[in-house]
Each structure stands twice: as C-alpha cells, then as structure tokens.
C-alpha cells in the first residue's frame, strides 16, 4: 500500500485520477488539494464519489503533502509544476507531473512553445518521459516522471514501430490530422471549448504552432536516431472526450499491408494497453472511452502507410497513463486499477 497525493484534484485530469485511484487496491489517497475558494469535501465537488472517499480538498500545502504521501501527482496547469516538483523531490518524494513542465529536455524551448522561462531547468535531465511503450525500464527507477501529452501519446504510438526500424522516408513530412474532444482544453472557461460553442461545429486550431508538436518531434527523433518532419493539425470536435489521430507516412521502401501490420503487431505484442486491430478495421473514440487503451488501425499501399490511433484524452492521454506509470515505478501489476 502506498500513500498518494493529488495536487490539482478539481480539474478534469485530477478528477479522473481520484476516480481511478479510489478503487486501486494498492493505493491510499491521503491528500487532495487545488486552487479552491474554500475547503470542501471532494464528494461535495464530485457527488459520484460519495461514500468512496471523504477527504477534504483544500489549497496545497507542500509540507503537509510531503508528510502524508509517498508519491505525488501534479495535475496542475503548465508553468505551475516547475515550482511544486523541486521541493517535493528534495524531500524524497516520487513526482508524476501531468503538465508539460518536464517533458522537453531543452529549457530554451519553453519560452517559445509555452510562453514562460523554465525555473527548474536543472531537473529536466533527470525527468523520465512517461511513455511506457518506450521508456518502461527508466520509469521503473524514476523519481520524476513527465507524463506525456494527449496528442503526443496518440501520435507517437502510431509512428513508433516504423521510426524504431528506420523504415520512414525522412525527407518526406509526416502529416497528422488529429481530432479531440472539448475536455482537452481543461476545466477553465475557454469560450471556444464551451459545449454550446463547440456543438455542431468542427474547427482546426493552433495550425502549425501547437505546443505538442515539439514534444512529438523530440521523442520520435530519439526513437529514429534523427529528426523527422511533422506537419500537425489539431481539430476540436463536439464530443466530451477522446482523440482520433490520422497519421500519413511516407516509407523508404514499399510495404505490403500485411507486412506493415506485422511490424506493429510484433512491436506491441507485450504491451497491455496498445491494441493493433485486424486489417480492414479502424478504431473509433467510443471504443476507448473511459479507458487506458490505445487502439490502432493500419493501411498501406506502395510507399504510403496510414496509421489511425484512438485514445481517451483523459485516460491514456492523461490520468490513466499517469496511473500506469505509478504502477510501473511502484512495482504493481501494470494494469492494476485500469481498464
């Protein structure tokens, strides 16, 4: 049994963490905190938790958090975790950060892509990127885990097997058409993400300048051994949760569809939360809703390959993957508490 704290428990991701961890057999939630007007029982904020957990959620006190927890989830906005993580790490706590504050290895990228200068750059080198399908062995020993972004999770898993085997034509761009539900914007009021505004509408946003692109490029360059060119266009669609990424890839040599499928199947055969669908079948967001799975569908013709990836942005794209990382670093079965 480990004791865990959640800082940022009232956002969509924090709420999802509470709901997963409250039924996890190896976890006791000992502290819940958030930027909140006044302390309140978490079951008052989320009535579906009534009778399952009766902790009070209040403003974060890091000394109290550290005293009561072995592991701390930071489900806070970008720019906040770099202030919170260092004192917790210095007290010997394991930290899983769900923001972008420790995902990028180059501190100089933060002002351009996140509009702030990094205040804890000395911790970037020790942070482990929390994608189990690539960094599982490092996650086992990590004290600071940078949980991946939702778009990068869906995209990287759709490219990783080909990048590792160096089968991509690196002179050709990879085109990514990705669609996300409105919870991807977080719980803060953002006009364009309100249900009434998003209803009956599909829109592209941050074209050519989405902050997740640099994260994808960093990880895929490491996997392939050299830089890959990405063209990433995200779209907001009128669903609550889910991401569907259509990824268009140029291959160095022709591959038959069955060969492409076998490469992905072999790459993910031991992965508990990646499912490669049979040829002719493609994933949909409702098939991964409320869970931690990434489902992949594949197509190939000549030197062109298409990978279609579906995840739940709050599951495998955030809280579910964070719990998967906790399970790995704490020695639990990797799928404990997850569906």
pLDDT exceeds cutoff 70 at 260? yes
Judge whether 161 lies within some domain. yes
**CATH code of residue 94:** 3.40.50.720
Categorise residue 115: left if φ over 0, alpha if ψ from -120 to 50, beta otherwise. left
Name the pLDDT band for 49 (thresholds 50, 70, 90): very high
Q: How far apart are CA 211 and CA 40, in angstroms?
A: 34
Judge whether 98 lies within some domain. yes
Output the pLDDT for position 193. Answer: 63
Asked if residue 338 lies in contact with residue 34, where contact means CB atoms within 8 angstroms, the answer is no
**What's the average model confidence in pLDDT over 247-259?**
98
**84 and 184 co-located in one domain:** no
**97 and 186 co-located in one domain:** no
**163 and 307 co-located in one domain:** yes
Q: How far apart are CA 282 and CA 277, in angstroms?
A: 7
Number of independent structural domains in the chain: 2
**162 and 290 co-located in one domain:** yes
Judge whether 267 lies within some domain. yes
Output the pLDDT for position 326. Answer: 98
Output the pLDDT for position 194. Answer: 67
**29 and 109 co-located in one domain:** yes
Name the pLDDT band for 191 (thresholds 50, 70, 90): low
Q: Classify residue 115 by burial, with Cβ atoms within 10 Å: 0-12, 13-18, 19+.
A: exposed
Asked if residue 264 lies in contact with residue 283, where contact means CB atoms within 8 angstroms, the answer is no
Among candidates 131, 225, 217, 210, which has minimal Cα distance to 174?
217
Judge whether 103 lies within some domain. yes
Radius of gyration of the chain (CA): 20
Q: How far apart are CA 338 and CA 189, in angstroms?
A: 29
**CATH code of residue 182:** 3.30.360.10
Output the pLDDT for position 192. Answer: 65
Output the pLDDT for position 208. Answer: 87
**102 and 160 co-located in one domain:** no
pLDDT exceeds cutoff 90 at 185? no
Judge whether 29 lies within some domain. yes
Q: What is the pLDDT of residues 28-48, one digit of tens each?
A: 999 999 999 999 999 999 999
Judge whether 330 lies within some domain. no
**6 and 67 co-located in one domain:** yes
Q: What is the pLDDT of residues 295-313, one digit of tens each?
A: 999 999 999 999 999 999 9
**What's the average model confidence in pLDDT over 78-85?**
97
Enumerate the active-site residues.
Answer: 150
Output the pLDDT for position 187. Answer: 60
pLDDT exceeds cutoff 60 at 189? no
Range of the structural domain that residue 206 is part of = 150-313
Output the pLDDT for position 190. Answer: 64
Output the pLDDT for position 222. Answer: 97
Among candidates 52, 38, 250, 98, which has minimal Cα distance to 159?
250
**118 and 178 co-located in one domain:** no
Judge whether 116 lies within some domain. yes
Model confidence, pTM: 0.95
- Report percent pLDDT > 70 for the chain: 96
Q: What is the pLDDT of residues 193-223, one digit of tens each?
A: 666 677 899 999 999 899 999 999 999 999 9
**84 and 212 co-located in one domain:** no
Judge whether 49 lies within some domain. yes
Q: What is the pLDDT of residues 88-126, one digit of tens each?
A: 999 999 999 999 999 999 999 999 999 999 999 999 999
**15 and 118 co-located in one domain:** yes
Output the pLDDT for position 268. Answer: 98
**103 and 181 co-located in one domain:** no
Output the pLDDT for position 188. Answer: 65
Output the pLDDT for position 184. Answer: 81
């Amino acid at each position: 049994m480990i004791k865990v704290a959640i800082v940022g428990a009232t956002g969509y991701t924090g709420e999802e963490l509470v709901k997963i961890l409250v039924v996890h057999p190896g976890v006791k939630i000992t502290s819940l905190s958030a930027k909140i007007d006044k302390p309140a029982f978490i079951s008052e904020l989320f009535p579906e938790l009534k009778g399952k957990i009766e902790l009070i959620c209040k403003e974060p006190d890091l000394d109290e958090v550290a005293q009561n927890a072995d592991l701390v989830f930071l489900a806070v906005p970008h720019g906040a975790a770099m202030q919170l993580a260092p004192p917790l790490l210095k007290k010997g706590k394991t930290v899983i950060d769900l923001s972008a504050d420790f995902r990028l290895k180059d501190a100089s990228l933060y002002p351009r892509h996140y509009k702030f200068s990094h205040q804890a750059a000395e911790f970037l080198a020790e942070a482990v990127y929390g994608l189990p399908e690539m960094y599982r062995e490092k996650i086992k020993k990590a004290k600071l885990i940078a949980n991946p972004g939702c778009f990068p999770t869906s995209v990287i898993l759709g490219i990783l097997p080909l990048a590792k085997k160096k089968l991509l034509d690196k002179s050709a761009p990879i085109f990514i058409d990705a669609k996300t539900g409105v919870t991807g914007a977080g719980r803060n009021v953002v006009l364009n993400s309100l249900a009434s505004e998003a209803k009956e509408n599909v829109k592209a946003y941050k074209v050519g300048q989405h902050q997740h692109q640099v994260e994808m490029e960093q990880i895929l360059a490491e996997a392939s051994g050299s830089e890959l060119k990405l063209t990433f266009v995200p779209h907001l669609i009128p669903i609550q949760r889910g991401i569907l990424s259509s990824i268009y890839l140029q291959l160095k040599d022709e591959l038959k569809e069955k060969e492409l499928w076998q490469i992905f199947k072999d790459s993910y055969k031991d992965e508990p939360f990646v499912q490669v669908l049979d040829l002719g079948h493609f994933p949909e967001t409702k098939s991964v809703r409320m869970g931690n799975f990434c489902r992949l569908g594949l197509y190939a013709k000549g030197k062109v390959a298409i990978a279609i990836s579906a995840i739940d942005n709050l599951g495998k794209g955030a809280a579910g993957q964070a719990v998967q990382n906790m399970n790995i670093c704490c020695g639990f079965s990797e799928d404990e508490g997850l569906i």
